[in-house]
Structure 1
Amino acid sequence: MRTKTDNPPPYEEALHHPKCANDAQQPPPSYSAGPGMGCGPPGYWSQAGMWAAPAFSPSGMPTTIPTLSAGLPAPNPGEMEDFLRTQWESTSVRHAFIRKVYLILAAQLTITFSVVAVFTFVDSVRLFVVKYPGIYWASFVVYFMVYCVLVCCKEPRRRFPWNLVLLGIFTIALSYMCGTISSYYDTKAVFLAMGITAVVCVTVTAFCFQTKVDFTSCGGLLCVAAILLMIIGIVTAVVLAFQYVPWLHMLYAAIGAIIYTLFLVYNTQLLIGNRELALSPEEYIYGALSLYIDIVHIFLFLLQVSGAATE
């Protein structure tokens, strides 16, 4: 509520009789009046009246300056150093994990392709494999049993590395299977499949390390693709038994190579991390196993395609 006496004087009276003329000529000693701020009752712009406002002190600066981070505690330098140290340690652990996986994978691929080369170039070994096919089925049984043990059982926490021993047995069994299959194809088809497999693996690895697309969220889609591949394989086996549609075998091999390339992308991103899903640094055996199986199956499917093309 304001009374009538509190109303400002008319414009003509204020023009001829300025009420605050004397006050405007004598500003307070510690304050320089700005334009339009010279009027007011005596003592209005004094130091007592000026510093009586909240958040001001006689030093001439506000006691608190509101910012966007008002109400949040200031970061502690020690906590920030601990956070950066933790991030660096986790990155170094992940890099050591990736190096370990790829070293194991390189040893596995060296053994496998060495066995394939022996079975391809040495005629006596090739004839032995063709003459005794039971060894192939025995290696297939060993391959399947060891694979189930490595996937289903947890890594034993013992001094002796049983998991590495099982992985070595698995690698030898699968290498013998690959060599047996390669012995039925021409040398030119084997080398062509090996070259295309190497190009595909290098391209997929470089793509996974550079892309921002997350393929680890497509596990369900890959599972459906694997089931579809199994159904196509059964249909292909039945059709080829009656010698219908001879090119269907080549189509099945091409589809299988594409699906296992997608599996290679998925497992590589699980290995790298920084995605929706990632492998633990303790699962280096599983990481090497999954990549090794993907690469070998890509080679076998491409071998079927190149073998059919060369024929």
Structure 2
Amino acid sequence: MSRSDFPPGYDESRGPLYPPQGGNYPPPPAYGFPAFGGPQPGQPSAPYPTGPNASLFPGQPGGYPPGPYQGQPHSGGPPGAGYPNRPPMPPVMPPIMPSDILSSGDDFAASGSGWDSLSIRHAFIRKVYLILASQLLVTTAIVAVFTFVQPVRNFVQQNQPIYWASYAVYFITHLVLVCCKGPRRKFPWNVLLLSIFTLSLSYMTGSISSYYDTKAVFLALGITAVVCIAVTVFCFQTKVDFTKCQGLFCVLGIVVFVTGIITTIVLSFKYILWLHMLYAAIGAIAFTMFLAYHTQLLIGNRKHSISPEEYVFAALSLYVDIVQIFLFLLQIIGATTK
């Protein structure tokens, strides 16, 4: 039997796995599978495996294209969950009602207090709603700019200290207008303080809106408008007197304020979706009830009413209620549409 009839020995079988091919074809890959990221023989190992596709996608493991979320924060959940800049919580202050702005009576507060004249009552209501319309127009314009103008949107998101500065201005002017009778009733100080208050709260509202999708902002605006119109019409038509429940609304304001502080502290450490949504729902319902209460105080045909000289405070109360309803609805809609 010739030697060719025997199987090749060990020394003879150590040749290349694949024989050389003609036609200038590239040799097949050796062991190590460089196509899957193995190192080439004689080459130092790299921190990321290399392969034939590495020139197409440099810096990627194995030369594969980057994933859809590589290098980006995960965006699961509502705005703020996984984002480098979480939207700040809306400002919440319990509605404060000084005793010197209210008048009361056994039947109607308007009786015998200068409200007998329908012209005085109508003039007061027109003045309050004119001021309120101006405030809402300014706030809507600022929210639109912060939502649609991308450079402004990026600026307010990257400069949150300005938000907290406006929060301080909002807090101080609110306390001055509520607690100080002189500046609240004297022109032009009352109008000046109210303008500063409106601008600060509008900036805060626009900053929060910039973190949400434009669809969520539009839906929140539309629902807020429907709710406010429905509450106003209901208060003008109903015989139910919300002004008799001052103690209940005082407790409700304290509960919303304390709940807001606790929720803000908890969410600053760990985001909990159900807690955020529960707080937003409570806040939206509470400030809807406050809007009904303040509207009936404005009308004057209930047991308690606002004094005719307090048109600035009346406009401030309604304005804060409407803005808070919008912000709470925006949090709910922004989470559900994400």
TM over 0.5: yes
Residue by residue over 1:211-244, the C-alpha shift from the partner in whole angstroms, topping out at 9 and shown as x without a partner, is 0110001111111112222333334334434536
User: 1:184 aligns to what SS in structure 2?
Assistant: coil
| Residue of structure 1 aligned with 2:275, choices 243, 248, 256 | 248
Q: Is the 8 Å Cα contact of residues 193 and 303 (structure 1) preserved in structure 2?
A: yes
TM-score (norm 2): 0.64
Q: Residue 286 in 1 paired to residue 313 in 2?
A: yes
CA RMSD of aligned residues (A): 2.0
| Residue of structure 2 aligned with 1:141, choices 168, 184, 195 | 168
Q: Residue 223 in 1 paired to residue 223 in 2?
A: no
Q: Is the 8 Å Cα contact of residues 240 and 246 (structure 1) preserved in structure 2?
A: no
| Residue of structure 1 aligned with 2:300, choices 263, 273, 276 | 273
Q: Residue 303 in 1 paired to residue 330 in 2?
A: yes
Aligned to 1:188: 215
Q: Is the 8 Å Cα contact of residues 263 and 275 (structure 2) preserved in structure 1?
A: yes
Q: Residue 211 in 1 paired to residue 245 in 2?
A: no
Aligned to 1:167: 194
Higher-Rg structure is 1
Q: Residue 110 in 1 paired to residue 137 in 2?
A: yes
Alpha-carbon spacing, 1:238–1:163, altered in 2? closer, same or farther (3 Å):
closer
Structure number having the greater helix percentage: 1
Q: CA deviation at 1:162?
A: 1.2
User: 1:281 aligns to what SS in structure 2?
Assistant: coil
Distance 2:320 2:261 in 1: 21
Residue by residue over 1:77-126, the C-alpha shift from the partner in whole angstroms, topping out at 9 and shown as x without a partner, is xxxxxxxxx99962210110000000000000000011000000000001
Q: CA deviation at 1:246?
A: 2.1
Counterpart amino acid of 1:303?
A: L
Q: Work out which structure has the larger RCO, using CA pairs closer than 8 Å and 6 or more positions apart in sequence.
A: 2
Distance 1:123 1:132 in 2: 14
Q: Is the 8 Å Cα contact of residues 273 and 279 (structure 1) preserved in structure 2?
A: yes
Distance 2:243 2:173 in 1: 26
Distance 2:271 2:145 in 1: 34
Aligned to 2:288: 261
Superposed counterparts of 1:87-106, under 5 Å? 90-106=117-133
Counterpart amino acid of 2:284?
A: A
Counterpart amino acid of 1:146?
A: T
TM-score (norm 1): 0.69
Q: Residue 124 in 1 paired to residue 151 in 2?
A: yes
Alpha-carbon spacing, 1:259–1:88, altered in 2? closer, same or farther (3 Å):
closer
Distance 2:164 2:114 in 1: 49
The answer for unaligned runs of 5 or more in structure 2 is 1-112
Count residues with an aligned counterpart: 226
Q: CA deviation at 1:160?
A: 4.7
User: 2:301 aligns to what SS in structure 1?
Assistant: coil
Q: Is the 8 Å Cα contact of residues 178 and 184 (structure 2) preserved in structure 1?
A: no
Distance 2:314 2:185 in 1: 20
User: 2:312 aligns to what SS in structure 1?
Assistant: helix
Q: Is the 8 Å Cα contact of residues 205 and 327 (structure 2) preserved in structure 1?
A: yes
Distance 1:113 1:307 in 2: 18
User: What is the percentage of aligned positions where both structures have the same residue?
Assistant: 68
Alpha-carbon spacing, 1:278–1:182, altered in 2? closer, same or farther (3 Å):
same
Residue by residue over 1:10-57, the C-alpha shift from the partner in whole angstroms, topping out at 9 and shown as x without a partner, is xxxxxxxxxxxxxxxxxxxxxxxxxxxxxxxxxxxxxxxxxxxxxxxx
Distance 2:280 2:116 in 1: 44
Q: Is the 8 Å Cα contact of residues 244 and 303 (structure 2) preserved in structure 1?
A: yes
Counterpart amino acid of 2:142?
A: V
Q: CA deviation at 1:153?
A: 1.2
User: 1:247 aligns to what SS in structure 2?
Assistant: helix
Q: Is the 8 Å Cα contact of residues 184 and 312 (structure 2) preserved in structure 1?
A: no
Aligned to 2:229: 202
